[in-house]
Amino acid sequence: MSVAAAADRPGTAATAARFSPRWIADRLSKGVIHVVVISLTVAWIVPTVGLLVTSFRPFAAITSSGWWTALAPQFTFTLENYTKVLSSTNLGASFFNSFMISIPATVIPIAIAAFAAYAFAWMKFPLRDWIFLGIVGVLAIPLQLSFVPVLSFFVAHGITSSNLQPYGLQFLPVWLAHTGYGLPFSIYLLANFFRALPSELFESAEIDGAGTLTVFFRIVLPLSVPALASLVIFQFLWIWNDLLVALIYVGGAPEVAPLTVTIANLTNSLGQGYQLLTAAAFFSMFVPLIVFLSLQRYFVRGILAGSVKG
C-alpha cells in the first residue's frame, strides 16, 4: 500500500452534464471541500509558522505585537535571537551531544535487532514463537517501569555519565538504555519484513554452499534496505527528540546535555529573555525536519508496516 499513489477515484462530477443543476451542485460541493481542506491545513501550520516568524523578530516587537503583524511591511527581521542564544547558552555543544547520543543509539539497536529478527524469521529454536510473543508484549510496557532498577544498577557499578571519562564514554549509559528500549519495535518490524522474503532465496543460497553470514550480509540486508531505512529514520528521530530517557541517564549537566534537555532547562531559566526560546526551538527542529522532509517516503512506509501489516 503506497500513500503516494493517490487512487483518483471516479468522482460524481464526471457523470453529470455541463451546467445541469447536478453539475452545479457537484462543483459547489467540490468548492466547499477545497475551502475546508485548505483552511484546516492553514490552521494546522499556523503554530509552526508563528514560531518561525517570532524567532526572527526583535525583542521589542515580540513583546508589543503579535507575530502576524510582522507579515506586513515594513519588515524588521533580525538574526539577533539566534546569535544570542548560541553565544549565551550551551546550545552549540548540545547540538553536538545530540549527535553523539543519536548516532550510536540508532546503530546499535538496529544492528542487534536485525540479527535477532533473522533468527526469529529463518532459524528454528526452542520457544521461538513464545519469545517473539513476549517481545510483542514488551512493546506496550511503559519505560518508566525500568528507571529505578536500571539507574540504581548503573549508580552501584559506577556507570554514570559523571563518572565515565573521557568525553564520549559518558554517553554509554544512554546508548545502552536506548538499545534496550528501541529493540522490541525494531525486532518486530524487521522480523515481519524478513519473514516475507521468499524462502526459495534461502534454499538456493544453501545449495550454493553460502554460509549463514553470507546469506545475512549478501541477501537479507540488501533486500531489506527499505525496512532498514524507515527504521533508521524512526529510531533517529525518536532519540533526537527524546527528553525523558536523556533526563534520566544523561542528566542536565551542560557539557553532556542534548538539545531537548538544554531547551527544557531554558524554558524554566530564561525568564526575561524568553524570546530566545523561539530561536532555540527552531534550532533543534532543523535536523529532524531535514531528515523528515528528505526521507518522508520511508518514514511513512515504516509507520504503515508497524501498524497495518500484510
Residues 136-175 that bind another protein (CB under 8 A): 136-150, 152, 166-168
Measure the CA–CA gap between 132 and 128, rounded to whole angstroms. 6
Looking at beta carbons only, is 140 or 207 nearer to another protein?
140
Cis peptide before 74 (omega within 30 of 0): yes
Binds another protein (CB under 8 A): choice among 120, 185, 194, 298? 120
Would you count residue 45 as binding another protein (CB under 8 A)? yes
Minimum distance of another protein from residue 199's CB (angstroms): 14
- Cα 264–Cα 267–Cα 272 angle in degrees, nearest 5: 155
Residues in the chain, how many? 310
Total residues in contact with another protein, by rule CB under 8 A:
127
Residue 189 in grid coordinates? 518490524
**Using CB under 8 A, which residues numbered 74 to 113 contact another protein?**
86, 90, 92-93, 96, 99-100, 103-104, 107-109, 111-113
Convert 183-212 to b/e letters by CB count within 10 Å (16 or more is b): bbbbbbbbbbbbeeeeeeebeebeeeeeee
For another protein, the binding residues in 175-214 under the rule CB under 8 A are 176-177, 179-181, 183-184, 187, 211-213
The C-alpha atoms of residue 12 and residue 22 are separated, in whole angstroms, by 10
Minimum separation from the CB atom of position 60 to another protein (A): 12
Within 210-269, the residues that bind another protein by CB under 8 A are 211-213, 216, 237, 240-244, 247-248, 259-260, 263-264, 267-268
Which string of x and - marks every residue 269-288 that binds another protein (by CB under 8 A)?
--------xx-xxx-xx--x
If one asks whether residue 19 binds another protein (CB under 8 A), the answer comes out as no
CA atoms of 55 and 67, how far apart (whole Å) = 9
